[in-house]
Structure 1
Amino acid sequence: MTTAAEAGAEMSWPRPPFTVDTLFELPDTGLRYEVLDGALVVVPPPTPEHNLAADRLRERFIRLLSPAAEAITTAAVRLPGGSGPVPDLLITTADASDHPRGIPAEFVHTVVEVVSPSNASDDRVKKAALYAAAGIPCYWRVELRSWREHFGPVPAIVVRLLGDDGEWHTTVHAAGETRRLPIVVDRSPAVVPVELDPAVLVGPRR
């Protein structure tokens, strides 16, 4: 994790405590930032493969959403306690124009993070905990490379879903098999299945 101070020591940065509101007070440096547990974090530039995976997922999500819901890329989420992660993709029933300084967590139903090697621990551990604590019921983590718990085919999608029993259920879906993966699309919460082989997220269009 690279802090903002490390990324630009010569620039004048806001002073802590950092909150999601800090994201909208920073000068435009061409970099992306998040606030995680009070730390101002520089987000590494995404690779074309990273963006392709997020874009292809958004295409599939949009087909399944009602007019009341939207799939939005790289929008800040206002979490309780002041954190402001910026997931690669989220599903919300909020009107984006009503929330120019980040979408409140209660209106965010599914978040998707495409893991980058330089901030993998944030996506796998820190953000998973923050999203769960905020009550966001569905978290997709897209892994483009093998990781310690999975040496099988990639890309793979790790889905963490809050069940009717009040417990979190985590499943791993590797490339090579079409499965019905759940997304949450509203506050009911309504779960909609996405029929998907993770292999389609990268490489030539299939």
Structure 2
Amino acid sequence: MREVTGMVTLESGRGGFSLPRPPFTVDTLFTLPDDGLRYEVLEGVLTVTPPATPEHNRAADRLGRLIDPLLTHDAEVITASAVRMPDGDGLVPDLMVTTADLEEFPRGVPAELVHSVIEVVSPSNSSDDRVKKSRLYAKARIPCYWRLELRAWKEHFGPVPAVVVSLLGDDGEWESNIYEAGRSHKLPLVIDINRTMIHVEMDPAVLMGPRR
């Protein structure tokens, strides 16, 4: 049997693994093979995207290294781990800032202990990052969402890379600002359950290209 979810064709049956059957939840993610693909459950739909490009991973790694020294001892920045959403979905951001005891939550970090999420936008899943995940993170009351755009998009034809920082208002709506390459900015980041905010000072240009 062949099944297409997201951008990748999966094989099941002879010579492959058995695809799980719906309903899909965050727990489904822990039944799937560790094959380098990115599996997520978005609004009850199991999605899969190809392995990230080196450019994508370099940007995420550099961003994580910038953030980590600024965190309190209770907070950590971790990569590509599942968030246990209130409705049972399982989103896997490129980076998250959490104060969870990770040994206590080996099968995904509860959304209430995720204080900031960061997605590096790829062409294969740009609409998910810009629209669907934005909506789901807001619904889960995660207070800070960074979206790192490596290329221009329809709302921004200025310098890239650019970081779209969205902070959740009391009304449940995002308040967003774009920080573009070319000069240093102080980007707000929420780091704990009390919504303590720090500022990451950087020019987004450092996330791409040769080391500076």
TM-score bucket (shorter structure): over 0.9
Structure 1 residues 21-54: Cα deviation after superposition (integer angstroms, max 9, x where no partner): 0000113333221111111111221111111111
Q: Post-superposition shift, 1:204?
A: 1.3
Residue 200 of structure 1 is matched in structure 2 by 206
Partner amino acid for 1:184?
A: V
Change over 3 Å in CA distance of 1:6–1:143 after alignment to 2: closer
* Kept in 2: contact 1:36–1:84 (CA 8 A): yes
Moved more, 138-147 or 23-32: 23-32
Q: Under a length normalisation based on structure 2, what TM-score does the superposition of the two structures give?
A: 0.92
Change over 3 Å in CA distance of 1:4–1:202 after alignment to 2: closer
Query: Which secondary structure does the structure 2 equivalent of 1:66 belong to?
Result: coil
Partner amino acid for 2:47?
A: V
**Uncovered stretches (5+) of structure 2, i.e. residues with no partner:** none
Residue 40 of structure 2 is matched in structure 1 by 34
Query: Which secondary structure does the structure 2 equivalent of 1:7 belong to?
Result: strand
Residue 7 of structure 1 is matched in structure 2 by 9
* Kept in 2: contact 1:76–1:101 (CA 8 A): yes
Matched residues, percent identical? 63
Residue 77 of structure 1 is matched in structure 2 by 83
Is residue 115 from structure 1 mapped to residue 121 from structure 2 by the alignment? yes
Change over 3 Å in CA distance of 1:99–1:178 after alignment to 2: same
* Kept in 2: contact 1:5–1:13 (CA 8 A): no
Structure 1 Cα separation of the partners of residues 34 and 176 of structure 2:
37
Structure 2 Cα separation of the partners of residues 159 and 33 of structure 1:
25
Alignment counterpart, residue 127 of structure 1, candidates 133, 137, 141: 133
| Root-mean-square deviation (Å) | 1.7
Query: Which secondary structure does the structure 2 equivalent of 1:96 belong to?
Result: coil
Structure 1 Cα separation of the partners of residues 174 and 183 of structure 2:
23
Change over 3 Å in CA distance of 1:19–1:200 after alignment to 2: same
Q: Under a length normalisation based on structure 1, what TM-score does the superposition of the two structures give?
A: 0.94
Structure 2 Cα separation of the partners of residues 4 and 175 of structure 1:
30
Change over 3 Å in CA distance of 1:90–1:38 after alignment to 2: same
Which stretches of structure 1, 4 residues or longer, exceed 6 Å deviation after superposition? Answer: none
Change over 3 Å in CA distance of 1:169–1:7 after alignment to 2: same
